[in-house]
Amino acid sequence: MSKKVRIAVLVSGGGTNLRALIDAQNSGIIKSGEIVLVISSKAGAYALRRAEAAGIATAVCEKGGRQQSLFEQDILSELKSADAELIILAGFMNILSADFVKHYPDRIINVHPSLIPSFCGSGFYGLRVHKAALEYGVKVTGATVHFVNEIPDGGRIIMQKAVEVDPEDTPETLQRRVMENAEWIILPAAAEAVCKEIGENK
Ligand code: GAR
């Protein structure tokens, strides 16, 4: 069997999607890849504690007041030292530039909490996505895993899963249902599918 694809996960916050990836690795849903590094754009992110508890190497790359290119150079150097082959954005709240993504064509995937092309692109992240969906009055929303290219949330779609909106939903209750019923399922499934493909073409 070929060697497992080396995965780096980029996070910024609570890291429930990271937890879903770690659980999937432990249960064998992810078998063609291995998480070797977690990079957080926030020093205090709880996601870092989850990674440490799972014995995964961590790094912090904060943007601070710096230029985007310097921030991205830090991330690139961490990815290169870890020999990362697939990058998973799991609640990573920074948009990566075209210059960055060209280093990893078809090797960066992202989970977004809506059915793209609805409620996506710059300005749509986290709870804002669910707030916008409720304000619009959609009856069905969901989550999407897609490749990352130079257009925010614009890369090729890998997997989507729909979730019904409840008339009583708040952004918080909707966010929770989309995570439980869509994100935590399709992100590990898409990660395995992409790792398998990378592994077969190595
Ligand atoms: C998730 O809902 C994820 O889809 C979203 O932020 C949340 C992070 O939660 N990401 C975006 O909005 C990116 N555009 P987590 O830190 O618990 O995984």
Interval 76-122: pLDDT, tens: 999 999 999 999 999 999 999 999 999 999 999 999 999 999 999 99
Using CA atoms, how far residue 43 sits from 46, 76, 146, 157, 182, in Å, is: 9, 18, 26, 31, 28
Percent above pLDDT 90 for the chain? 99
- Separation in Å, CA 81 to CA 63, 74, 76, 149: 19, 11, 9, 23
- The angle that helices 46-53 and 16-27 make with each other, rounded to 10 degrees, is 20
Kindly report the average pLDDT of the chain as a whole number: 97
Ligand 1 centroid, distance to 189 Cα (angstroms): 17
Q: Whose CA is nearest to atom 7 of ligand 1?
A: 91
Position in ligand 1 atom list of the atom nearest CA 18: 18
User: What is the tens place of the pLDDT at every residue in 123-164?
Assistant: 999 999 999 999 999 999 999 999 999 999 999 999 999 999
Pocket lining: 188 vs ligand 1, CB cutoff 6 Å: no
Amino acid found at 199: G
**Ligand 1 atom closest to the CA of 92, numbered from 1:** 13
Task: Give the Å distance between the CA of 167 and the centre of ligand 1.
Answer: 23
- Please identify which residue in the block is written with the tokens 């601070």: 64
Say what the pTM is: 0.98
45 lines ligand 1 (CB under 6 A): no
- Ligand 1 within 6 A of CB of 15: yes
pLDDT of residue 118: 98
* C-alpha of residue 178 to centroid of ligand 1, in Å: 10
Q: How much is the pLDDT for 68? A: 97
Tell me if 95 sits within 8 A of 152, measured CB to CB: yes
Q: Is 130 a catalytic residue?
A: no
CB 40 within 8 A of CB 58: yes
Q: What are the structure tokens assigned to 202, written together?
A: 């190595």
| 175 pLDDT more than 60 | yes
* Strand 157-164 to 86-89 pairing: unpaired
pLDDT confidence bin for 202, thresholds 50/70/90? confident
**pLDDT band for position 1 (cuts 50, 70, 90):** low
Closest Cα to atom 8 of ligand 1: 91
Report the separation in Å between the CA atom of 202 and the middle of ligand 1, taken as the mean of its atom positions. 30
Question: What are the tens digits of pLDDT across the range 30-86?
Answer: 999 999 999 999 999 999 999 999 999 999 999 999 999 999 999 999 999 999 999
